[in-house]
A and B are shown apart, each in its own frame.
Chain A
Amino acid sequence: MVEKRKNILFFGILIFILILFPFVVTNYWIRLFTGIFMYGTLAQATNILMGFSGLVPFGNVVFFGIGAYFTGITMLNLGFPFFIALVFGASACFVFAFVVGHPVLKLKGHYFAIATMGISEAIKQISTNVKITRGGMGLNLPLVPFEVNTSYLFFYFLMFSAMILVTLVALWISRNRVGYALRAIMSNEDGAKSIGINTPHYKVLAWAISAFFTGLGGGIFAYWYGYIDPPSVFDIGISVRFIIMILLGGAGTIIGPLLGAFFIELLSETVWSQFLFIHLGVLGAIIVLVVIFMPRGFVWFYRQKFSLEALLENVRKGKL
């Protein structure tokens, strides 16, 4: 109980600091943190499927794109206000994942990962070639009706709220029947069926929830950047990035994906500003080192009480 109260106090203070943060720093930092919160949202959303059920949806970026495009198109063509368009976009992702999920989630392991990449590429091609998205020309969204400084704050708090919301949902899921169903499925699908778990149903549900929040992130991104085109919002690199964040932080934990997002985004920003020409190389090298020494992520390292012994044990087991 004391432990729990300490945790709540710690996160309360952290949230309080992040609320005050944008009022004391420059717009550069606000923009950087808005990006971190976006990746935090995406990583946490994907963690709901990947962390709890063990399925790796490499093409989850498809929901980022669908969310972005649905939000943009409903604002431009139907004149929806932003927030309604955003909910509409995220819900479209939920429905899409639910429909596609029933056949696709019959696949296991790598085959599921590859199928989601296929879906992502297919939707990217479709959105490049249909009229309603204006194809490769891209889509210019309506301007934000605020002056510059206010709009920086607006997106900072919007992304922040999205990240907190998806984290609360993940926390709730992890402690309830859906969470137990998913963990049982990850550990042992046959065993799960035999104690009455409708395994396809829970996998589809988890994917649809993760799609909803990925789409939410995409919708906010579209309005934030003001311009989207298929290569930028269906970029498989975005998927790779948030999957790395989940793995680095600790899949299946609540705080891990957020830690991963902070670490990767801050690191790539620092590396980029210090080593302009080889920043991807340096970033890659750091990721390789982290994965070798703590393949189960930061949260695992914390639970080992930061013991060096445990780090070396990982390397020995990896037989370097």
Chain B
Amino acid sequence: MGALLSIKNVSKYFGGLAANKAISFDIEAGEIIGLIGPNGSGKTTLINVITGNDVADQGSIRFKGHEIVRLKPYIINRLGIARTYQVVQPFIGMSVRENVVAGVLFGRDGKGRKMGVAWERADEVLELCHMQDKRNEMVENLTIADIKRLEIAKAMATDPDLLLLDEGMAGLNPKEIDEALDLATRINKMGMTLLVVEHVMKAVMSISQRVVVLHQGRLMAIGTPEAIAKDEQVIKAYLGEKYSLRQKNRGEVKRL
């Protein structure tokens, strides 16, 4: 069986700027794949191109063998790709439960669902995300950590096979980051494939099986977190001397 999502030679230009340039890689079913890179390296653009919010200028993206470039975002979602946004996009004026039920009603197979069934599914998703005690809160009264969790719940409610998390941990404190990591791992164990864009390096390195590094719109490296942490090019471009030193020291400690 082929890859779940296969990105081939994808480019996206904004005027003269190449936000994504000839990017190719595959995402296998069941894995957590990290997507990292400095600011402006094209991570969010790549997410937008996959979900149809932006249309790729060149290249092909195949999801379970179907070409999805040029499909509308809502159709891509119904095929089984859900996402969260870096700038959170909750539905203000609705309760947490109503936010999630909207995902259940309109996501994959949502069309024929009766309201009663949809409410039950929404409660299941809220329980999975440990939000059941906040289900009747209005969104505008939530903390940023809860809103980020709600974004994941909303996306999960659409019943995807592939979940794209765009900076789900930015602005969270260490305890909240641990909770978010726990949630991502649990979802993954249920069989969900995850593409995680993250700035919090500890987080992305600890949960990903493979890491993709973008730099100035190009794919710079792809490999296991350990290999990426040792890659000279990546260290120079992005991780910095400090991180590489720490990794080296850690290795030495182990050897002793």
A binds B: yes
A contacts, CB < 8 Å to B: 175-177, 180-181, 183-184, 186-188, 190-199
* Docked complex Cα distance between A177 and B102 (Å): 8
B94 to chain A minimum Cβ distance, whole angstroms, is 6
Verify B105–A194 contact, CB threshold 8 A.
no
B154 touches A183 (CB 8 A): no
Number of A-B contacts defined by CB within 8 Å: 82
Interface residue stretch chosen among B25-33, B55-63, B81-89, B246-254? B81-89
Residue of A175, A183, A186 with most partner-chain B CB within 10 A: A183
B residues lining the A interface (CB < 8 Å): 51, 53, 72-74, 77-78, 82-83, 85, 89-94, 98, 101-103, 105-108, 110, 115, 154-155, 157-158
- Residues of chain B within 8 A (CB-CB) of A180 are 98, 101-102, 105-106
How distant is the Cα of A194 from the Cα of B74 in the complex, in angstroms?
6
7 closest cross-chain pairs (CB), A and B:
A191-B89, A196-B106, A196-B77, A193-B73, A187-B91, A195-B103, A196-B107
Smallest CB separation, B34 vs chain A (Å): 21
Inter-chain contacts of A196 with B (CB < 8 A) = 74, 77-78, 103, 106-108, 110, 158
User: B77: which A residues are within 8 A, CB to CB?
Assistant: 193-196
Of the residues B51, B92, B98, B115, contact of A194 by C-beta under 8 Å? B51
For residue A269, give the distance in angstroms from its CB to the closest CB of chain B. Answer: 34
**Distance of A21 from chain B, by nearest CB (Å):** 36
Chain A: which residue is nearest B159 at the CB level?
A196
CB-CB under 8 A from B158, the residues of chain A are 195-196
22 example contacts (A-B, Cβ-Cβ < 8 A) are as follows A177-B105, A180-B98, A180-B101, A180-B102, A180-B105, A180-B106, A183-B94, A184-B102, A187-B91, A188-B89, A190-B89, A191-B89, A192-B91, A194-B83, A194-B85, A194-B89, A195-B102, A195-B106, A195-B107, A196-B77, A196-B103, A196-B110
Residues of A within 8 A of B115 (CB): 175-177
B229 → A minimal CB distance (Å): 32
Min Cβ gap A281→B in Å is: 36
A188 touches B98 (CB 8 A): no
Nearest B residue (CB) for A181 = B106
CA distance in complex: A194, B89 (Å): 10
CB pair B93–A195 under 8 Å, yes or no, is: no
Instruction: Give which listed residue, B51, B91, B108, contacts A183 with CB less than 8 A.
Output: B91
Contact yes or no, B93 A187, CB < 8 A: yes
Q: Is B89 touching A177 in the complex (CB atoms < 8 A)?
A: no
Q: Known contacts A195-B155, A196-B108, A196-B158; is A187 also within 8 Å of B94 by CB?
A: yes
Asked if residues A183 and B74 are in contact (CB atoms below 8 Å), the reply is no
Contact of B92 among A187, A192, A193, A197 (CB under 8 A): A187
Q: How far is the CA of A293 from the CA of B150 in the complex (A)?
A: 34
B152 to chain A minimum Cβ distance, whole angstroms, is: 12
In the complex, what residues of B have CB within 8 A of residue A198's CB?
A: 72, 74, 106
Taking a contact as CB atoms under 8 Å apart, the answer to whether B90 and A193 are in contact is no
**Chain B residues near A177 (CB-CB < 8 A):** 105-106, 115
Instruction: Report yes or no: A194 in contact with B82, Cβ–Cβ below 8 A.
Output: yes
Max chain B C-beta neighbours (<10 A), residue from A181, A183, A188, A191: A191
Residue of B nearest to A185 (CB): B91
Complex Cα–Cα for A187 and B77 (A): 19
Q: Given A180-B98, A196-B77, are A191 and B106 also a contact pair (CB < 8 Å)?
A: no
Of all chain B residues, which has the CB nearest A189?
B89
Contacts of B90 in A (CB 8 A): 187-188, 191
CB nearest neighbor in B for A180: B102
What CA separation (Å) do A180 and B101 show in the bound complex? Answer: 8
Known: A175-B115, A184-B91. A197 touches B102 (CB 8 A): yes
How far, in whole Å, are A289 and B96 apart by their CA atoms in the complex? 35
Asked if A190 and B85 make an inter-chain contact with CB atoms under 8 angstroms apart, the answer reads yes
Instruction: State whether B74 touches A199 (Cβ < 8 A).
Output: yes
Cβ–Cβ < 8 Å partners of B106 in chain A: 177, 180-181, 195-198
- Complex Cα distance, B83 from A43, in Å, reads 38
**Distance between A177 CB and nearest chain B CB, rounded to angstroms:** 5
Decide if B72 touches A193 in the complex (CB within 8 Å): yes
B37 to chain A minimum Cβ distance, whole angstroms, is: 22
The docked-state distance in angstroms from the alpha carbon of A209 to that of B105 is 21
| Interchain nearest-CB distance for B92 vs A (Å) | 5
**Is there contact, CB below 8 Å, between B91 and A191?**
yes
Closest to A201 in B: B74
B139 to chain A, nearest CB (A): 9
Residue ID in chain B nearest A197 by CB atoms: B106
Given contact pairs A193-B74, A195-B77, a sample of 5 additional A-B residue pairs in the complex whose CB atoms are under 8 Å apart: A175-B115, A177-B115, A195-B158, A197-B74, A199-B74
Taking CB atoms, residues of chain B closer than 8 Å to A186 are 93
Q: Which residues of A contact B83 (CB under 8 A)?
A: 194
Q: Could you say which residues of chain B place their CB within 8 Å of the CB of A192? A: 91, 102
B227 CB to nearest A CB, Å: 33
Q: How many whole Å from A200's CB to the nearest CB in chain B?
A: 9
